[in-house]
Amino acid sequence: MSPYTLRWGIIATGKISGQFARDLLVDPSSREVSDVSHQITAVGSRSVESAQKFIDGLKNPAEGDSWGWGAKNGKLDRVKAHGSYDGVYNDPNVDAIYVGTPHNLHYKNTKDALLAGKHVLCEKPFTIDIEELEDLVAIAREKKLFLMEAVWTRFHPIAYAVEEVLKSGKLGKPKRFAADFSMEYDLDSKPDSNRFVDPALGGGSLLDMGPYPSVWAMLLVHRNPHNKDQNPKVVSSYQSIYKRSGVDLDSRWIVEWEGLCRGQLVTDLTSPGLRENTAALQCEEGDLIIEYPPQKPETFHIIPRPDRYLASVKEKTTHHHPVHAGNHGMSYEADEVARCIRDGKTESERMPLEESKVVQRWFDSVRKNGNSSTKEMKGTAGQ
């Protein structure tokens, strides 16, 4: 039986769209996939020339580039360059749209795609605020279209391996959690238009970096078999401010899962992240530690509690689960989208819309209780 092929339209031609497009063109068998495949049938940009340049780059891989497989095997044969996003939304040869535009455009671009009858995979953060996200979810459900936030980490091999550890029960009940995404990013050397500097683009650390400590909070605590609280809330937060533009240099917030535990989440543009501890779940019987970087870790450790505490985990073990060779890591989420659409689903059970709402509410709380220049930023829900 031949694999189900999903026809993709790509919105925007920046770095992240390029990486996603290249992953679509990698041989699915390289990641042990045989039931779905991908074809790029449309690319939208500000001009036809820009879209065509993006396409030409995909059609001319260097020797040894894994994504060259797609160009050689017809995955670009029907691709069309559009000088507007509307051209992609209305292209009859497109099944699903990948939205890779800046944060502040996600709502409009996703809404336009849904209204045109297309399924959508939208980059994170999904929207500027919860009102925008709720509007998109309502539209998708009304039209019975698939919609998902592109939290690629959820679909990496390590995420499934960690899930099995938690399901086994060997660690026991969570007691506390911490996750951190920090990087030394010299804002002073960047122009005012830089996406981290410009508040109009949702600049600062929170919206751009926040999805990554949040994904581990969701995978390790929220989806933990012991958790019963489906609407955990921020109970405390703090932001440091970059004086030049007023965006947050760092954000720190504490989330409470009622009846279970609390977790501290951090984003920081002033310091490199901890190499061997980007996320830590401490439990009754032992600790689970995720190595850096939070967006694409390959290794986790299970560590015993200190000797003075009796627990069932007796020795440290290390578990290595890299993405498959030749795949950057976005191919896995694309496979999930294809399977869901093939099976008539309107959302992913592994990346459900309600969980995107949980994280969006955290961001809203931290932003609105801080003093950054994005504090009063409002989305355009309903417009």
pLDDT surpassing 90 at residue 275: no
What's the confidence (pLDDT) of residue 187? Answer: 95
Q: Are 282 and 175 in contact (CB under 8 A)?
A: yes
What's the confidence (pLDDT) of residue 308? Answer: 66
Q: Which of 103, 39, 106 is nearest to 69 (CA)?
A: 39
What's the confidence (pLDDT) of residue 310? Answer: 72
Question: How high is the mean pLDDT of the chain?
Answer: 96
Q: Where in the chain is the domain with CATH 3.30.360.10?
A: 157-322+357-368
Phi first, then psi, for residue 360 (nearest 5°) are: -60, -40
Confidence of residue 167 (pLDDT cuts 50, 70, 90): very high
Q: Classify residue 306 as exposed, middle or buried by CB count within 10 Å of its CB (0-12, 13-18, 19+).
A: exposed
Q: Which of 96, 236, 265, 248 is nearest to 177 (CA)?
A: 265
List CB contacts of 121: < 8 A, sequence separation 6 or more: 96, 97, 98, 99, 148, 150, 333, 334, 337
Among 9-13, 101-105, 255-259, 304-308, which is the least confidently predicted range? 304-308
Q: Which of 119, 112, 123, 91 is nearest to 14 (CA)?
A: 123
Among 25-39, 272-286, 336-350, 358-372, which is the least confidently predicted range? 272-286
Among 31-45, 198-212, 300-314, 368-382, which is the least confidently predicted range? 300-314
Please state the rounded mean pLDDT for residues 260-288: 95
Tell me how far apart the alpha carbons of residues 21 and 15 are, in angstroms, rounded to a whole number. 10
Q: Give residue for tokens 């439990």.
A: 283
Q: How far apart, in Å, are the Cα atoms of 298 and each of 143, 151, 153, 292? A: 38, 16, 11, 8
pLDDT surpassing 80 at residue 307: no
Please state the rounded mean pLDDT for residues 131-156: 98
Strand pairing of 36-44 and 261-268?
Answer: unpaired
- The dihedral over CA atoms of 148, 133, 21, 204, expressed in degrees to the nearest 10, equals -130
pLDDT surpassing 80 at residue 203: yes
**CATH fourth-level superfamily of 4-150+328-346:** NAD(P)-binding Rossmann-like Domain (3.40.50.720)
Quickly name the fold that domain 157-322+357-368 has: Dihydrodipicolinate Reductase; domain 2 (3.30.360)
Q: Where in the chain is the domain with CATH 3.40.50.720?
A: 4-150+328-346
What's the confidence (pLDDT) of residue 273? Answer: 87
Confidence of residue 335 (pLDDT cuts 50, 70, 90): very high
Tell me how far apart the alpha carbons of residues 266 and 254 are, in angstroms, rounded to a whole number. 9
List CB contacts of 141: < 8 A, sequence separation 6 or more: 346
Q: Which of 256, 285, 317, 258 is nearest to 168 (CA)?
A: 285
Q: How far apart, in Å, are the Cα atoms of 190 and each of 8, 185, 186, 195? A: 33, 9, 7, 9
What's the confidence (pLDDT) of residue 312? Answer: 84
What's the confidence (pLDDT) of residue 141? Answer: 98
